Structure 1
Amino acid sequence: MLAATRRGKIKEILMKKKSVKVSELCEMFQVSDETIRRDLEELEKEGLIERNYGGGVLKKNVIVPPLLFRMEENIEEKEKIANKALDEIKEGMSIFLDAGSTTYQVARAINFKGIKNITVITNGLNIAAELASNTDISLLLTGGNLKNVNYSLVGPDTVEYIRRYNVDTAFLAAAGVSAEKGFTTSDIFEAEVKRSMLGSAKTAIVVVDSSKFGKDAMVSFCNIKDVDKVITSGDQNLDVIEDLKSHVNIVLV
């Protein structure tokens, strides 16, 4: 097995288990402990882990694993958030559904609750697939370049498409939320898409679970005060929440 392939599999294990042991990885991949330690050293250089004597642990500030992992994380929180988000959707409305694991749950809730006569515009392939068979809504999928890790469409074509529309409400995902950096994401192209949705919607709502609070991803896409509401759930840092409440309406479910 190539080193790059092995390290990729170690990353997958880290995203699921949050920590790894040298002895277990040696047995799993049938390689020496020196080989595994070199792998962990490379992952440490990437900023993914902190090494310890017996292995390594995922860094606390590492966020936005691939979508397939995020879909299973904090699932009960995301379902609660999605159900609350439906209070913001009325018959005849047009909405943006940004690509993301929590916004995907909003799409599922739309189907489950049988919401009718709305227009949904999304850049998320999995969101489009979820809603594709729903004949009670009008579904529009943006163009753009596919970002494989989270099934999102991004790039200039995506931004241009979104700017054609004036919608009622944009439901946005975020990888991090903090008073200092605002709402953040891991990719500059995703940030551009989110900004275009913000600029083309009358109301902007961020749907985000508790794990994102007090963390910053690589790119800020807007300030806290630039959105109208944040819908969240779970055990956030209360100090962070109080700090944000003076800038934005936060709904905790």
Structure 2
Amino acid sequence: MEFLSQEQLYLFAYDVFIFILIIILTALAANISRTLIDRALHSINPYLAAHIKHYVFILIWAIGIILGIKQMGISTDILMLLMGLAGIGFIASALYVLQNLVSRSFLDIHMQYRVGDIIYIKNFTGKVIEITDLNTVLLDKEGKLIAVPNVQFLKEIWVKHGSLSAGYEMTIPVAVNKEIDIVNFEKELLNSTKELKKYFKKEPNIVTSKTDEKINELSLILSLKDPEKKSVVTAELNEIINKLITEFEERSEKERKEEKLKEIKDISQ
């Protein structure tokens, strides 16, 4: 029976220590990545951001485990090959979902239709009754539901039926931190749109499209007199929205600090 020498034991203990250190650092990096992704992608579709966060989390752990195993002197060639094949399979299986999620995010920015509109696409005609992260659901004259993948609206020619007298409708998505006073934010945003009232057929409207524990997603619905002014209005409104968000975030941060100072004073007394 062979025993390890003292030097071999030290080397083995060192490798085990480095392996544990790599795993700890991997766990920290994976958790930090979630926070950074939340901050970087706070303005995009939450469902898409959650998927990206999940994929990055898995990738960081995969890299950490491979480095840890390699440190122990075990060959990682087969493991890397299996992970590569698994990654290719995963991307292939998730391609449909990712295409439609990205398409929805793009449509959110350049939305030219909304719930209630009559749309013709790929030999289907129906009223839009729901817009999900993956599909736009139409209801035809016979009462049938038609689920059109969102990516088709970027690939195919589609027609929106409507009256010219109703104006050209467009929607601008607005994502704001939940700590912001949403009621006053909406009021100030609507007041700010009055600067552009010459472009509008009717008064703008704001609806809450989605909400979670961190973000409120709003939709600013506009009816333009002239569709050709869409790019001008979008640019000016985005500037107004970004300025308002910055102001409200600074205001919220100031109020939070003042509240903490008050708590400290109350405790000290």
Compute the TM-score of the two structures, normalised by the length of structure 1. 0.24
TM score, norm. by length of structure 2: 0.23
Structure scoring higher RCO (CA < 8 A, sep ≥ 6) equals 1
Q: Whose helix proportion is higher, 1 or 2?
A: 2
